[in-house]
Every structure is written in C-alpha cells, then in structure tokens.
Structure 1
Amino acid sequence: MATVLVVDDTLTEIEIITKTLQAAGFSTITANSSEVAKLKINEQRPDAIVLDIVLPGESGFELCRELKDDPATSTIPVILCSTKDSEMDKFWGLKQGAASYLTKPIVGEDLVRTMQALVK
C-alpha cells in the first residue's frame, strides 16, 4: 500500500483529501505546514505528496523546489493543490518540479486518477 503525505493548513481540506485517498486504498500521513512536512518526510519517506501552496511559513512552491533539489527526495512525486487556478500558477508549480497541479475544491476522481498514475 502506497503512503501519501498530505500537506495543508486547513483541517477540512486534509480530511477531504485523506478520506478520498484512503477510500482508494492509499495510506496517508498529514502535516499542516512545510516545517512539519519535512519532519514527516524524514521520519517516514512517503511514496507521494499532496501539497497545498499557501502554507504558514514556507510556501508549497518553496517546499516542492527543495524536495526536487535534494537527491534523497527528488523522485517523490508531488501533486500541488491550490485555489490558485491561473495558468501562470499552474505553469510555475510545474516549473518547481511538481508532477501535477490540481485546483481546489478537489475532485476526488481526479485526485485518485492522478495519484494512481504517479504511484505504481
């Protein structure tokens, strides 16, 4: 069973995303900031990460870029999730190394389909 780290500062979003992924057979761990996410990544290397962009402290864009620059975490697929839905936001997210960019509110089927494609 693949493990997905869900990083979001909104409890409701964490709940929606984790329940959607768990129903599809994924195991989940959660973090409410980039700092907590880094600790969780070091403790238990996830198979994929669902990452909000607007977070307290370091943004999801910054965390994604750090993960992709580090050889130890560069192969972990990152799905950015945000209410930011302009083409420039999506372009910038993919430029940071994200494997995919989904807009909120999350459509469960899109999230599961994307995750299944990235975690084989």
Structure 2
Amino acid sequence: MARILIVDDSPTDVQNLRNLLQKAGHSVSDVSSGEEAISRVRSEKPDAVIMDVVMPGVNGFQATRTLSKDAATAHIPIVVVSSKSQETDRVWALRQGAREYLVKPVKEADLLAKVNAVLAG
C-alpha cells in the first residue's frame, strides 16, 4: 500500500481518482492547488503524486518542476493526469520532471499500471 497525494481542483476528478486508488489498496490524500501540493509533498513525503495541470495559481507543470528540482522531493514520482491531450503537453510534463502522463478521463487499468510502474522505480 502506497501513500498517494492527488492534486486536482475538481472535486469530481479527485473522487474518481480516490475511488480507483483506494480500491487498489492505496492510502490517498488530496489538495486542490499547486501551492498546497508543494507544501504537502515537502511535509508529508508521499510515495507518489497524481498531478492535474489546469489549476488556478501555480499550475501542475509549475508544481511538478518545483518538486522535481528540489533535492528533498525529487525522488517522489509524479504522474500527471490532465485533460490536456496534445503530445506537446505530455512532452512538456515529462520535461518538468513528471514520470508518466495520462489523459482524462483515465481508465482504471491505465492509472494503476502507471502508478505501479512509478512506485516500482
């Protein structure tokens, strides 16, 4: 069982992701902004982060870059889950430090496969 932080400003998306991850046995917490994500990851050191991109204030790309460049949090894998479906968005997310990229709506099998892959290292 891994501790996973969901970062998304959509309560519906958070609940959907939470249900899928908890059903797979993971412990899940959530925040609704990039600023909160940076603070929570630094303080709680989750095993993985599920990061939305489009959020007010600090967006998911910015939060991913901040966390992946910080020596204290760089080892924590980030899976970007976004409605942005362009290849350039996927490439940009990976360049910011994300380990995986999924487009919403996510399929349960795809989400769990990506999460398990990043947790395995």
TM-score category of the 2 structures, normalised to the smaller one? over 0.9
Determine if the alignment matches structure 1 residue 97 to structure 2 residue 101: no
Q: Which residue of 2 is the match for residue 49 of structure 1?
A: 49
Q: How does 1:5-44 map to 2 (within 5 A)?
A: 5-44=5-44
Q: Which residue of 2 is the match for residue 82 of structure 1?
A: 82
How many angstroms does 1:37 deviate by?
A: 1.4
8 Å Cα contact 2:49-2:76 kept in structure 1: yes
Give percent identity, aligned residues only.
39
Q: Distance in 2 between matches of 1:43 and 1:72?
A: 10
Q: How does 1:107-118 map to 2 (within 5 A)?
A: 107-118=107-118
Please identify runs of 4+ aligned residues in structure 1 that moved more than 6 A: none
Give the SS at the match of 2:28: strand
CA deviations over 1:48-82 (Å, ceiling 9, x no partner): 00000001101100000000110000010000011
Give the SS at the match of 1:71: coil
- TM-score, L = length of structure 1: 0.96
Q: Distance in 2 between matches of 1:104 and 1:23?
A: 19
How many angstroms does 1:38 deviate by?
A: 2.2
- TM-score, L = length of structure 2: 0.95
Q: Distance in 1 between matches of 2:70 and 2:30?
A: 21
Gaps of 5+ in 1: none
Q: Distance in 1 between matches of 2:40 and 2:71?
A: 17
How many angstroms does 1:44 deviate by?
A: 1.4
Give the SS at the match of 1:14: helix
Gaps of 5+ in 2: none
What is the identity, as a one-letter code, of the residue corresponding to 1:28? V
Q: Distance in 2 between matches of 1:65 and 1:43?
A: 17
CA deviations over 1:70-103 (Å, ceiling 9, x no partner): 0000010000011111111111111111000000
Give the SS at the match of 1:119: helix
